[in-house]
């Protein structure tokens, strides 16, 4: 970890992260970033992990000790740390970066961690087996296709929750529209129902020259239909 990192350093990293690259190059990027990741997102004032956990926590009415939760694209475990503070103790993680998973494992918060190239490989879990599924930070242009949303629905139990996030900055608006069209289409097909959608103005510090201050983002919470 580089203790002397500045926002300028983080900005350079994020501008590369938002580019559309091949899967292998993207994983290599996250492997390289892993050692500085937690520090960098702190500098970035990145709120998505806490916002997603808070939205799920506010809606969840079951036993948190035993609820099976899947953290997709879990990274170093930022979402899991928030969930743990809210009483969720049975969390499983999946990520494409082994270096990120290694750091998450050292934190000791997950029941199990598995490597998976999201969007290229199926999620390595059983269908219909999780009370809640979260995907934070990776549903954006240049990362994974919108089609992975159907996989999140598949692995949730009937009546289980699916929590998703995306950025709402200018460069991600096309992806956001495609994501919301997919989410809305699945609701129209009766696959899930909307629980809450929260638009947030201060999502993270802006890194693009097109925007200043903080960029907005959105948290979506849906509940899988019972039949």
pLDDT tens for each residue of 186-218: 999 999 999 999 999 999 999 887 788 999 999
% pLDDT > 90, the chain: 82
Question: What pLDDT is recorded for position 212?
Answer: 80
For residues 186 and 220, the answer to whether their CB atoms sit within 8 Å is no
For residues 73 and 96, the answer to whether their CB atoms sit within 8 Å is yes
The CATH classification number of 7-224 equals 3.40.50.150
Q: Is 188 exposed, middle or buried (0-12, 13-18, 19+ CB in 10 A)?
A: exposed
Token code pair at residue 224:
């899988």
% pLDDT > 70, the chain: 96
3-state SS, residue 210:
coil
Token code pair at residue 45:
């004032």
82-88 mean pLDDT: 97
| 178 pLDDT tier (thresholds 50, 70, 90) | very high
Q: How many CB atoms lie within 10 A of CB 158?
A: 10
Token code pair at residue 3:
């203790």
Q: Which of 39, 32, 6, 2 is nearest to 17 (CA)?
A: 32
Question: What pLDDT is recorded for position 25?
Answer: 84
For residues 165 and 218, the answer to whether their CB atoms sit within 8 Å is yes
116-142 mean pLDDT: 94
C-alpha to C-alpha distance for 106 and 89, rounded to whole angstroms: 16
pLDDT at residue 85 tops 90: yes
pLDDT at residue 3 tops 80: no
Question: What pLDDT is recorded for position 124?
Answer: 96
The span from the first CA to the last CA of the chain, in angstroms, equals 48
Beta-carbon-side half-sphere exposure of residue 168 (alpha carbons within 13 Å): 15
C-alpha to C-alpha distance for 156 and 206, rounded to whole angstroms: 33
The one-character DSSP state at 121 is B
The overall average pLDDT reported for the chain is 94
29-42 mean pLDDT: 94
C-alpha to C-alpha distance for 55 and 82, rounded to whole angstroms: 11
Q: Where are the domains of the chain?
A: 7-224
Predicted confidence (pLDDT) per residue in 44-69, tens digit: 999 999 999 999 999 999 999 999 99
């Amino acid at each position: 970890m580089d203790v002397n990192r500045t926002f300028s350093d983080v900005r350079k990293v994020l501008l590369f992260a938002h580019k559309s690259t091949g899967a292998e190059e993207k994983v290599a990027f996250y492997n390289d970033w892993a050692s500085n990741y937690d520090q960098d997102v702190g500098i970035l004032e990145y709120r998505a992990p806490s916002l997603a956990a808070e939205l799920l926590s506010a809606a969840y009415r079951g036993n948190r000790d035993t609820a099976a939760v899947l953290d997709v694209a879990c990274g170093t475990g930022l979402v899991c740390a928030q969930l743990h503070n809210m009483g969720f103790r049975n969390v499983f993680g999946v990520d494409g970066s082994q270096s990120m998973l290694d750091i998450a494992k050292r934190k000791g918060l997950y029941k199990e961690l598995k490597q998976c190239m999201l969007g290229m490989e199926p999620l390595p879990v059983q269908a219909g087996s999780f009370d809640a599924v979260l995907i934070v930070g990776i549903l954006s242009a240049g990362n994974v296709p919108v089609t992975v949303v159907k996989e999140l629905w598949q692995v949730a139990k009937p009546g289980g929750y699916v929590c998703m996030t995306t950025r709402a900055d200018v460069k991600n608006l096309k992806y956001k529209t495609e994501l919301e069209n997919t989410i809305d289409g699945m609701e129209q097909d009766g696959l899930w129902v909307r629980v809450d959608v929260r638009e947030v103005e201060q999502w993270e510090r802006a890194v693009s020259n097109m925007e200043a201050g903080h960029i907005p983002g959105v948290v979506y919470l849906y509940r899988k239909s019972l039949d």
